[in-house]
Chains A and B, each alone.
Chain A
Amino acid sequence: MATGTDPQARTTSGKDPTAHGVHAPSRAAVPARHLRTDRWWLSPAATAAGLFAFVVYSTWRAFSGDDYYAEPYVSPFYSPCVAQNCVPMKGGANWEIFGAWWGLSPALLILIFPLGFRLTCYYYRKAYYRGFWASPPACAVPEPRAKYSGETRFPLILQNIHRYFFYFAVIVAGILSYDTVLGFRDEHGRWGHMGLGTLVLLVNIALIWAYTLSCHSCRHIVGGRLRHFSRHPVRYRLWGWVSKLNARHMQLAWASLVSVAVADFYVYLVASGAFDDPRFF
């Protein structure tokens, strides 16, 4: 039965045939690009501001190459320290893999791994696609561009290497855990002591592990890739735990981002002499 509503019967006369997106000729003629009345811009704006603040702070600290070690604490930005120009760290992750030819800050050699991990992280992708690229700025708010290829082409197709950065992130988290253990010494290297810095490093490493293990790639690797959980009860159990953490991935991403900056800033204050580390015992 002809209803007159089948697509072939309809015309789009009088409309701009080159218009795209929500203004495409076949769609409801609504002049406004979007009709949202809530403060949809607040979330991407806050995200962009938070990420920008971290980028500014971490760029300053990564390039400074100074005030990153105050025995027994080392800044998470500078561990492991793999250049000859590193400050000697008693018992620390201090390996001279890069010789004297490396004249820049040693942080630059190691930060590429946590940076890559966070840059390709599924949560941060959402955050910066929305906050910086406006792709989209918010749900049902149009993008300010005419073409979109998503993650199908270079460079964004490289987002698929996230799991490799996850492997490196596990190694880095292991080294930072070792640094935290070293924090239970005093300034002369004697064990069995603790200061405020130890607590800062402890909170930081707990959040870094929680963020790292809540990663979507980790969830996939530990069990998500299986089709039959019933044949792999241990991996199923692990997958269940990681899934619970994964539900908090966004919160953990922000908490660990803040904690790593706070831990670095604390070490900076102590190393530069601006603050004396209070010792508990």
Chain B
Amino acid sequence: MSAYEAHFKVWRGDVEGGGLKDFHVEVNEGEVVLDIVHRIQATQAPDLAVRWNCKAGKCGSCSAEINGRPRLMCMTRMSVFGRDETLTITPLRAFPVVRDLVTDVSFNYEKAREVPSFVPPEGLGPGEYRMWQEDVERSQEFRKCIECFLCQDTCHVVRDFEDNKEVFAGPRFLMRVAELDMHPLDGAAETGLDRKRTAQEEHGLGYCNITKCCTEVCPEGIKITDNALIPLKERAVDRKYDPLVWLGNKIRRRES
């Protein structure tokens, strides 16, 4: 494949305003969108702000929206687009813009701090944790998260409704709650912290209407909706809406 010239529209500006700027730039075989953004930066717009780091889809820094779809720029090959196609790149549109392609993602860190962390089990010291693989494999899937926040960006609950940011943690952090609630050694329940209850009452689980956009955009392929959000909803149902489960727990008093 020979080199060709592609037409890019890149959003430039800051919170005061901005717009899409045209760039015609060379594309070579095997390149990804981030390579082209770097070429624009090197040859035409040296002050173009873009956040990036590993170029391997593992740091989660270069999240942006390419032709309206939230994606990692470093993992989006140019070969998936037609040569005549105009590529539009904007910053993540769910978060406040800082400059050009850089957004202020501090909303996510605030939500991360609201999720109580792993509670060490009583009577076990560091190095004494023993777990069976089948008990931790569900949580391990969620640990693949690179915190690119594409799921947070695409989730319509916060993307389309700024007001909901206060009450809704977003898929990434509801997945964190699920990860901890499924963790075989998390001692939260023994300390009186009911993660199922907090998922619904403090992290806004009920706002999720399971339309799966978070799963669609996840670059790690984590089945966020099927494996984290829906199981968490079912756990909340156990806790609040299922008298049979409540009765069973009362009678047997058996730890599951």
Interface residues of A (CB under 8 A from B): 5, 7, 10-15, 20-22, 24-30, 34-38, 122, 125-126, 129-130, 135-136, 139-143, 146-152, 156-157, 160-163, 216-217, 219-220, 224-230, 232, 236, 246-247
B74 to chain A, nearest CB (A): 19
Asked if B206 lies at the interface with its beta carbon under 8 angstroms from chain A, I say yes
Q: Are A216 and B161 in contact (CB-based, < 8 A)?
A: no
Known: A21-B161, A26-B97, A27-B93. A37 touches B68 (CB 8 A): yes
Asked if B95 lies at the interface with its beta carbon under 8 angstroms from chain A, I say yes
Residues of B within 8 A of A148 (CB): 156-157, 160-161, 164, 207
Q: Are A10 and B67 in contact (CB-based, < 8 A)?
A: no
Closest 4 CB pairs of A and B: A35-B68, A36-B68, A150-B207, A152-B206
With the chains together, A255 CA to B162 CA distance in Å? 38
A117 to chain B, nearest CB (A): 15
Residues of A within 8 A of B102 (CB): 5
Q: Are A139 and B231 in contact (CB-based, < 8 A)?
A: no
Residue in B88, B160, B209, B216 whose beta carbon sits within 8 Å of that of A22 in the complex: B160
Asked if B242 lies at the interface with its beta carbon under 8 angstroms from chain A, I say yes
Known: A24-B162, A122-B210, A135-B209. A228 touches B65 (CB 8 A): no
Q: Are A227 and B184 in contact (CB-based, < 8 A)?
A: yes
With the chains together, A22 CA to B85 CA distance in Å? 24
Residues of A within 8 A of B83 (CB): none
Which A residue sits closest to B231, measured CB to CB?
A: A224
Residues of A within 8 A of B230 (CB): 122, 216
Binds A, one of B17-25, B38-46, B112-120: B17-25
Known: A150-B209, A216-B226. A29 touches B13 (CB 8 A): yes
Asked if B70 lies at the interface with its beta carbon under 8 angstroms from chain A, I say yes
B207 to chain A, nearest CB (A): 4
Known: A7-B106, A35-B65, A36-B68. A26 touches B15 (CB 8 A): yes
Q: Are B157 and A150 in contact (CB-based, < 8 A)?
A: yes
Q: Mark B83-99, 1 if CB is under 8 A from A, else 0.
A: 00100101101111111
- B137-190 at interface with A (beta carbon < 8 Å): 153-154, 156-157, 159-164, 181-184
With the chains together, A150 CA to B231 CA distance in Å? 17
Q: Are A139 and B216 in contact (CB-based, < 8 A)?
A: yes
Asked if B59 lies at the interface with its beta carbon under 8 angstroms from chain A, I say no
Interface of B is mostly: mixed
Residues of B within 8 A of A149 (CB): 207
Q: Are A217 and B16 in contact (CB-based, < 8 A)?
A: no
- B232-251 at interface with A (beta carbon < 8 Å): 233-238, 240-242, 245
A130 to chain B, nearest CB (A): 6
With the chains together, A139 CA to B99 CA distance in Å? 24
Asked if B132 lies at the interface with its beta carbon under 8 angstroms from chain A, I say yes
B211 to chain A, nearest CB (A): 5
Which B residue sits closest to A21, measured CB to CB?
A: B160
Which A residue sits closest to B182, measured CB to CB?
A: A227
Q: Are B16 and A7 in contact (CB-based, < 8 A)?
A: no
A146 to chain B, nearest CB (A): 8
Residues of B within 8 A of A36 (CB): 67-69
Q: Are A236 and B67 in contact (CB-based, < 8 A)?
A: no
Q: Are A22 and B159 in contact (CB-based, < 8 A)?
A: yes
Query: Could you list some 27 contacts between A and B, CB below 8 A?
Result: A5-B104, A10-B16, A12-B16, A20-B160, A20-B161, A22-B160, A25-B15, A27-B96, A28-B13, A28-B103, A35-B65, A35-B68, A35-B90, A36-B69, A135-B209, A136-B160, A136-B211, A139-B69, A151-B207, A157-B206, A163-B234, A220-B231, A220-B235, A227-B181, A227-B255, A228-B132, A230-B132
